[in-house]
A and B are shown apart, each in its own frame.
Chain A
Amino acid sequence: EAQVTQNPRYLITVTGKKLTVTCSQNMNHEYMSWYRQDPGLGLRQIYYSMNVEVTDKGDVPEGYKVSRKEKRNFPLILESPSPNQTSLYFCASSLGAMTEAFFGQGTRLTVV
Chain B
Amino acid sequence: QQQVKQSPQSLIVQKGGISIINCAYENTAFDYFPWYQQFPGKGPALLIAIRPDVSEKKEGRFTISFNKSAKQFSLHIMDSQPGDSATYFCAASMREYGNKLVFGAGTILRVKS
Given the known inter-chain contacts A43-B44, A103-B45, A105-B43, please indicate yes or no for A97 contacting B32, CB distance below 8 A: yes
| SS class, residues of chain B in contact with chain A | loop
Q: Is the pair B6, A42 in contact by a Cβ cutoff of 8 Å?
A: yes
Interface segment among A44-52, A70-78, A79-87: the answer is A44-52
**Least CB separation from B6: chain A residue:** A42
Q: What is the CB-to-nearest-CB distance from A24 to chain B, in angstroms, rounded to a whole number?
A: 14
CA A43 to CA B93, docked complex, whole Å: 13
Q: What is the CB-to-nearest-CB distance from A108 to chain B, in angstroms, rounded to a whole number?
A: 9
What range describes how many residues of A lie at the interface? 20 to 34
Q: Is the pair A90, B99 in contact by a Cβ cutoff of 8 Å?
A: no
The reply on B60 being an interface residue by CB < 8 A is: no
Given the known inter-chain contacts A42-B103, A44-B103, A98-B31, please indicate yes or no for A103 contacting B43, CB distance below 8 A: yes
What would 8 more interface pairs be, CB under 8 Å, given A42-B106, A48-B100, A100-B34? A4-B43, A35-B103, A43-B103, A45-B102, A48-B98, A96-B99, A98-B31, A104-B43
Residues of A within 8 A of B (CB): 4, 31, 33, 35, 40-45, 48, 50, 58-59, 90, 92, 94, 96-101, 103-106
